[in-house]
Structure formats: structure tokens, C-alpha cells
Chain A
């Protein structure tokens, strides 16, 4: 099983600042990585797939990068609606695994 490790567990950021979230895979997943945003009481929302492609309707302030085992989600200027938990997920094969999540909170 491919283990996905996200860091940090919690990120405290002021509105308008940049947030950088990391995700590491225990073995190469090529670019088969997605990022999701989840707010309390809601289902996850797909932000990024293919490591760097924004899903439909996702603002340009969200960007993804990386390949192989190291990935990054960057939120260029945090808006109030961006405070949430973010998960990475590998789909390199049909046996998916998710990271444990990074909570982005207001500083």
C-alpha cells in the first residue's frame, strides 16, 4: 500500500498570505495525485488532479506541483472561504490512498 504523508498537520495563516502544503508518497505515483478541500459537515471538493491541473471552477489562487513522491499545494492569497482541511490522494493504481490531512486555520 502506498502511504501518503502530509505536512504540516496544522497550518496557521493570516488572510491574504500564502499557504504551502506538502504531501509525500512512500513510492512514486508519477503525477497521479489529487488534492481536495473539505469544510466541516461537507463532502470533499476536488481541487487539483494530475498533480497540477485545476478542476472545473477552481480559482487560480490554487496551484499544485510535483511528481514522483513530492507534491505541493499552494494557495497564493488565502481568502476566508479557504480555511478548511486539505487532503492529498494518490491514484497511481486502482488502490487509492489518502493523506491524513492538513488543517489550514486562521492565524
Chain B
């Protein structure tokens, strides 16, 4: 059974760095043709893709947020970590991690439940 679970702080202050962890089970981060993406959703708004990381450690970042994002993985721990620097209240959102797999054209097929991060002083 494939599951993903996001964890991290619920509240961060402006200018701080956010670190989120996605712990996966039911698949390995070393599996070829597979990866993990981060996607966020501000309250009442649409989804926004942030970053991908693949089994070969290849990475992609949102153009608009690239300077603030870092994605990495620890295969032995089955974890993917996303850091976002210089947080601002507009970054308040539910942050999701999701599996991507070639079997579904790399469209995210399994999602975590999401974690709401509020940016406020």
C-alpha cells in the first residue's frame, strides 16, 4: 500500500526557513521511473507545483520559486525534504507531497494528506 505523509511546523515566522519532510511507504525512492513532487495550495485557492525529485536525484523547481527552494531525498529513510527560505505570509498554504510514476505518465497518483503551514509573526 502506497502512502505519503508530510510533517513539519504548522507555524513559521516571516523571513524564517521552512523545512518539510515527506515520509513514504509502499515504494522505494530508488525505484526507476518514479519520483516525488511537492505541491501547495493556499486556502481557497488553486494548486501550485513547487518541485520534483527523481530516483536518479535529478531535480526540477518552479521557475518563480527556484531561488528559495531546495529538494533532497534520503533513500534509506524513505524521506524527501523540501526547504523554502525567506517565508512570507503569502506562502501560507497546505503543502502536499505526491508520488509520480511513469505508469501514470508521471502525473501524481498518490498524495499525502497535506500539512497546513501558516506564516505569521
Contact = CB atoms under 8 A, between A and B. Distances in A.
A98 B113 contact: no
Given A87-B47, A101-B46, A43 B104 contact: no
Q: How large is the interface on A (under 10, 10 to 19, 20 to 34, 35 or more residues)?
A: 20 to 34
A55 B113 contact: no
Contact of A91 (B64, B105, B113): B105
A55 B109 CA distance: 8
Interface in A71-107: 87, 89, 91, 94-101
- B interface bracket (residues with beta carbon within 8 Å of A): 20 to 34
B74 interface: no
Interface stretch (A10-18, A19-27, A44-52): A44-52
A94 B52 CA distance: 8
A44 B111 contact: yes
Contacts of B10: none
A36 B107 CA distance: 10
A62 B111 CA distance: 20
Contacts of B106: 91
B49 A49 contact: no
B107 A46 contact: yes
Nearest to A36: B47
Among A32, A89, A94, the one with the most B-chain Cβ atoms within 10 Å of its Cβ is: A94
B50 to A, nearest CB: 9
B60 interface: yes
A94 B113 contact: no
Contacts of A45: 111
B21 to A, nearest CB: 17
A46 B108 contact: yes
Nearest to A94: B60
Interface of B: 37, 46-49, 52, 60, 62-64, 96, 98, 104-109, 111-114
21 contacts: A34-B105, A34-B107, A36-B47, A43-B96, A43-B98, A44-B47, A44-B96, A46-B107, A49-B104, A50-B105, A53-B105, A55-B104, A55-B109, A56-B109, A89-B107, A91-B107, A94-B52, A96-B49, A97-B49, A98-B46, A98-B47
